[in-house]
Amino acid sequence: MGGITSSIASKFAFFPPSPPSYSVIGDESCAGRLLIPEVPRRDNVDVLKLRTRRGNEIVAVHLKHPKASATLLYSHGNAADLGQMFELFVELSLRPLSPKRRKRSRNNNFVLSRPSSSATTTVVVANGDPPFRKVTGLAVRFDYSGYGQSTGKPTECNTYADIDAVYKCLKEQYGLKDDQLILYGQSVGSGPTLDLASRLPNLRAVILHSPILSGLRVLYPVKRTYWFDIYKNIDKIGMVNCPVLVIHGTADEVVDCSHGKHLWELSKEKYEPLWLNGGGHCNLELYPEFIKHLKKFVLTVGKSKAATNGSKSTTVDSDRQSKPAESGTSDASQVGSDLPEVSRNSLDSRLEKSKKSNKPEKSRMSTDCSERHRRRRGLVW
């Protein structure tokens, strides 16, 4: 029964572009190195195929930069794949777009001038200034199972395995440490982002962009977590031990702004949130405040981590004089480590205290008309 219900929920959560907007081939002149032929080749970009623990093979893109201070692992929304925003993603991580190389899409987002790109972008640039330029330098984006050239089907469990596979690759292939990693989840991407963040105690930071409390809560304002719900972010946010930035538009008609506010209230290490007045679900990047706040946050957590590491090194040096150093320890916890269960009732009771309401539960969107509603308004998570 649970599998059937989760399968039905997945149909309302995932809308992978069909057909995929890109392909992946091996370059025989470079020992079979993978590339995406639909976009210009770049030496500082690694195209990867990663095997997940659930047996799927997903596509990821790793953008390298010699002076990177952190790595941004980005989990996208539910209606785009890697090819539709590949060039833009690369440009944003390396340098600002020139006026000649950008145009406005139908929803007023800036996209690269590529005839093959027709998707609603989820990463854009405002005023030609990329949000993480000269701040992180490294960025990783991946397609969920069933998206683009990734095999399998898009499900909640598969997205958890997908982000775990990317994290494992960053650790083993690129030597990434947890305190260098910033997890960024947009919309439905907040699900895999918070799932991984809840299991890694030493992350540098987490950014939640128009996040959801849970899948069911997007459709209905329920007061408790049901067993068949998906992406139960409300139950996981309390296990995140790093600074959390939440950004949400006050006029979001897809995921109500209350989702972002409740997640921020439940965060352990709250950072000043950004509630963009009049902002919708897919246009927050056009607000100048969005770019400024992101930069401020990334720089702040970077300085905080540097100060923390400095104090730790002083402590370690003094400890070495009194006892031998321990061996066999790890900088980061392993993916899949056992985690204590968090009481769902206690989390929901905290939400009750923050926002009391005597009104009966009322459906915002019935399941039998949600598809029609989504197509009429172009809803995306």
pTM of the entire predicted model: 0.73
Which SS3 state, helix, strand or coil, does residue 81 take?
coil
Q: Provide the pLDDT for residue 11.
A: 64
Which residue in 75, 93, 187, 267 is the catalytic one?
187
Rounded CA-CA distance 123/116 in Å is 17
Torsion of CA 341, 345, 350, 351, to 10 degrees: 110
Which residue in 62, 76, 262, 281 is the catalytic one?
281
Q: Provide the pLDDT for residue 40.
A: 79
User: In the annotation, is 252 catalytic?
Assistant: yes
Q: Is 327 domain-assigned? A: no
Torsion of CA 353, 357, 358, 360, to 10 degrees: -120
Q: Provide the pLDDT for residue 304.
A: 77
Total domain count for the chain?
1
Torsion of CA 347, 353, 359, 364, to 10 degrees: -40
Q: CB burial class (10 A; 0-12, 13-18, 19+) of residue 372? A: exposed
Query: What values do phi and psi take at 274, rounded to 5?
Result: -125, 105
Burial of 65-81, coded b for 16+ CB within 10 Å and e otherwise, reads beebbbbbbbbbbbbbb
Q: Angle 169-173-178 (CA atoms, 0-180°, nearest 5)?
A: 65
Q: Is 278 domain-assigned? A: yes
Contacts of 201 by beta carbon, 8 Å cutoff, 6+ apart? 178, 241, 333
Rounded CA-CA distance 231/215 in Å is 6
Q: Is 59 domain-assigned? A: yes
Rounded CA-CA distance 349/234 in Å is 11
Which residue in 81, 164, 178, 252 is the catalytic one?
252
Q: Is 111 domain-assigned? A: no
- The dihedral through the CA atoms of 91, 144, 79, 257 has a sign that is negative
User: In the annotation, is 6 catalytic?
Assistant: no
Q: Angle 372-75-206 (CA atoms, 0-180°, nearest 5)?
A: 120
Contacts of 289 by beta carbon, 8 Å cutoff, 6+ apart? 274, 276
Can you give the residue range of the structural domain that contains 168? 24-97+134-304
Q: Is 256 domain-assigned? A: yes
Mean pLDDT, 10 residues at a time, the chain of 381 residues: 57 85 85 83 88 97 82 90 74 46 37 31 33 58 95 95 97 94 95 98 96 93 91 97 97 96 97 97 91 91 74 46 38 42 44 46 39 47 63
Q: Is 338 domain-assigned? A: no
Q: Is 3 domain-assigned? A: no
Q: Is 109 domain-assigned? A: no
User: In the annotation, is 248 catalytic?
Assistant: no
CATH of the domain at 80: 3.40.50.1820
- The dihedral through the CA atoms of 276, 278, 283, 285 has a sign that is negative
